[in-house]
């Protein structure tokens, strides 16, 4: 039996290609083609967010009626519960309290008091020991425009099917909410979104599921920030539609620890995005990200421990990339544009598995850039490509980069601070074209670079301030003499500076008079 064919030429071509590649002649159904292609190409990692599963012991939801506006509220009733709930609406709505008598009332203002005995004992949720009641509010389609709920009851689930209601919820009733679903039939601009307000999960301790249908944001900012990080964490990405007028995106999903994959965020006028995805421990993959000019992207992905790449993120418009991927311990490569950036402080610090870094759009850059601690503690960093002339601060730039063996271009001619520049780079062997002529602080710049053997200079006499090569055990007397003679500036008539060579292999045999004749103090 041959491969299934169809009049669609593209389908036949694909099917034939699979047959040739695999040698299979059995019937190939359309549903099987994706799997065959995946096996040929080696597949690809499919990343999905964890699915929210409504607890099976919760009371079942009523059938949705498309001709009505409906609200379903699941409340938990404990043995000591004796609490009223007040519901106000702008139009007359039928309210079913879900008590033993299934009381139904009609009106714009309704109140009911729940007690342990007022609800069905068979509704017990064994895991947490509460009984349940399902409140149902409904009116004709498009008539529900205002909803005001006041109570200290323990609401677990809140579901709204309406057109454009103004929502207000007061009291402590949403502290333990687990699921909130809002379905608007038409797009609604900047609705009030209980239990959240500007701080989206401000009072919700256990919120796991949120569904927002036809919600549009055009100004201000929302933060889906969990109230208690150890409990509250969404499983799904909020589907908010942002218009091009949005300018503020900061801390949007900060500390949401269970979301694994995010979609695209193309927001051309956003100028504040700091911490938007901060501390998202489970985030593995994100779609295309593009913000406006001069956008602050500091801490955008800081401490996203599972994030594997940020190639889809456009940084060319950012003026601030401080802590951009700091602590992203699963990141292995980083390609980043600094076209508009002025500061990269701690850009990729503590990225312990980062191996390769490529910085782009830096060749013709006129602005100087702060690189303070940009790659400190990147223990596996082996290669970096960038233009050192744009740096104004390289203090701690490569501190603790244990795997870094070569610096191909160390011409930091415009850097004014270089303390601990390469300290504790224990695999470092060769530094080429070193230039620190403007730096006024070089303390411990090469401290404990145990394998450092060779340094060359971009120009003569380019070290003018106190510097340390302490415990560089493989620096020979010949190399130390070369540093004294070629690298150290002649400070005759100026303040004396100090060069520390204590612990260097050639410290005892080098000719310290070369440095001393230039008004340098040698510590060995």
CA distances for 131 relative to 112, 152, 173, 272, angstroms = 16, 16, 16, 45
Cβ-based neighbours of 141, under 8 Å, separated by 6 or more: 66, 67, 68, 69, 163
The residue-averaged pLDDT of 477-486 equals: 98
Dihedral of the alpha carbons of 58, 63, 69, 72, in degrees to the nearest 10:
-10
Residue 339: band (very low, low, confident or very high) from pLDDT cuts 50, 70, 90: very high
Structure letter (DSSP) for residue 163? S
> Above pLDDT 90, what percent of the chain?
73
**The predicted structure's pLDDT at residue 41:** 45
Comparing C-alpha atoms, which of 176, 214, 213 is closest to residue 195?
176
Q: Cα(476)–Cα(383) distance, rounded to whole angstroms?
A: 26
Give bridge partners of residue 522 from the DSSP assignment. 499
**pLDDT reported for residue 23:** 55
Q: How does pLDDT run across 15-49, given as a tens digit for each residue?
A: 665 555 555 555 555 545 555 544 444 445 688 99
Residue 466 in 3-state DSSP? coil
Query: Among 67-71, 114-118, 175-179, 329-333, which is the least confidently predicted range?
Result: 175-179
User: What pLDDT score was predicted for residue 2?
Assistant: 33
**Nearest alpha-carbon partner for 146 in 75, 189, 216, 89:** 89
> Angle between the 9-22 and 30-41 helix axes, to the nearest 10 degrees?
50
Indicate whether 97 pLDDT > 80: yes
Supply the pLDDT for residue 226.
Answer: 67
pLDDT for the residue 170: 80
Q: How many CB atoms lie within 10 A of CB 495?
A: 8
Q: What is the pLDDT of residues 203-235, one digit of tens each?
A: 677 888 999 899 898 887 777 766 555 556 889
Closest CA to 87 of 5, 169, 158, 25: 169
d(CA 346, CA 348): 6
What is the mean pLDDT of the segment spanning 77-89? 94
pLDDT at 448 over 70: yes
Residue 96 bridge partners (DSSP): 104, 136
Cα angle, residue 330 at apex, residues 294 and 248 outer, rounded to 5°: 25
| Residues 255-271 pLDDT 10s | 888 999 999 999 999 99
**Average pLDDT value for residue range 329-340:** 97
Angle among Cα 289, 290, 292 to the nearest 5 degrees reads: 150
Q: Evaluate if residue 197 carries a pLDDT over 50.
A: no
| pLDDT score, position 230 | 54
Q: Are strands 166-170 and 154-162 parallel, antiparallel or unpaired?
A: unpaired
Question: Does pLDDT of 241 surpass 50?
Answer: yes
Q: Find, among 441, 439, 501, the residue nearest to 468 by Cα.
A: 501
pLDDT of residue 40: 46
Whether the Cβ atoms of residue 352 and residue 325 lie closer than 8 Å to each other: no
The mean pLDDT of 107-118, rounded to a whole number, is 94
Q: What is the mean pLDDT of residues 74-89?
A: 95
Which residues does 425 contact at the CB level (< 8 Å), separation at least 6? 398, 399, 400, 401, 402, 404, 449, 452
CA distance 234 to 452: 49
């Amino acid at each position: 039996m041959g491969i299934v064919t169809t009049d669609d030429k593209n389908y036949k071509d694909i099917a034939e290609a699979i047959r040739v590649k695999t040698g299979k002649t059995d019937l190939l159904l359309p549903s099987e083609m994706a799997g065959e292609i995946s096996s040929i190409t080696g597949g690809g990692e499919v990343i999905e967010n964890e699915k929210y599963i409504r607890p099976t012991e919760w009371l079942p939801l009523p059938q949705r009626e498309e001709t009505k506006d409906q609200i379903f509220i699941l409340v938990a009733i404990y043995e000591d519960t004796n609490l009223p709930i007040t519901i106000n609406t702008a139009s007359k709505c039928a309210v079913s309290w879900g008590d033993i008598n299934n009381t139904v009332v009609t009106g714009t203002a309704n109140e009911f008091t729940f007690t342990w005995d007022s609800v069905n004992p068979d509704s017990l949720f064994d895991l947490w020991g509460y009984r349940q009641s399902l409140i149902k509010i409904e009116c004709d389609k498009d008539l529900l425009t205002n909803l005001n709920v006041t109570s200290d009851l323990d609401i677990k689930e809140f579901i709204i099917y309406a057109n454009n209601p103004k929502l207000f919820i007061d009291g402590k009733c949403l502290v333990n909410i687990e699921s909130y679903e809002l379905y608007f039939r038409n797009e609604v601009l900047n609705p009030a979104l209980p239990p959240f307000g500007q701080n989206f999960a401000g009072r919700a301790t256990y919120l796991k599921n949120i569904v927002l249908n036809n919600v549009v944001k055009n100004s201000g900012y929302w933060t889906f920030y969990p109230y208690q990080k150890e409990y509250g964490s969404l499983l799904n990405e909020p589907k908010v539609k942002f218009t091009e007028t949005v300018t503020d995106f900061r801390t949007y999903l900060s500390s949401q620890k269970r979301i694994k994959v995010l979609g695209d965020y193309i927001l051309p006028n956003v100028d504040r995005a700091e911490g938007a995805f901060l501390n998202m421990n489970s985030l593995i993959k994100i779609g295309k990200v593009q913000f406006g000019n001069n956008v602050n992207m500091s801490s955008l992905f800081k401490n996203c421990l599972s994030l594997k790449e940020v190639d889809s993120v456009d940084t060319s418009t950012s003026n601030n990339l401080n802590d951009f991927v700091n602590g992203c311990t699963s990141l292995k490569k980083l390609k980043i544009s600094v076209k508009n950036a002025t500061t990269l402080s701690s850009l990729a610090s503590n990225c312990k598995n980062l191996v390769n870094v490529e910085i782009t759009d830096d060749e013709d850059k006129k602005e100087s850039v702060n690189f303070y601690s940009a790659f400190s503690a990147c223990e596996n960093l082996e290669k970096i490509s960038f233009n050192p002339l744009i740096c104004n601060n390289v203090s701690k730039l490569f501190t603790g980069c244990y795997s870094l063996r070569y610096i191909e271009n160390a011409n930091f001619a415009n850097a004014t601070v270089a303390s601990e520049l390469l300290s504790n780079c224990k695999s470092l062997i060769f530094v080429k074209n070193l230039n620190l002529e403007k730096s006024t602080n070089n303390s411990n710049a090469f401290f404990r670079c145990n394998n450092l053997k060779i340094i060359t200079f971009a120009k003569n006499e380019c070290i003018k301030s106190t510097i340390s090569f302490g415990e560089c055990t493989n620096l020979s007397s010949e190399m130390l003499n070369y540093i004294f003679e070629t690298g150290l500036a002649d400070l005759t008539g100026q303040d004396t500076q100090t060069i520390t060579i204590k612990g260097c292999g050639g410290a005892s045999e080098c000719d310290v008079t070369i440095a001393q004749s230039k008004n340098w103090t040698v510590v060995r």
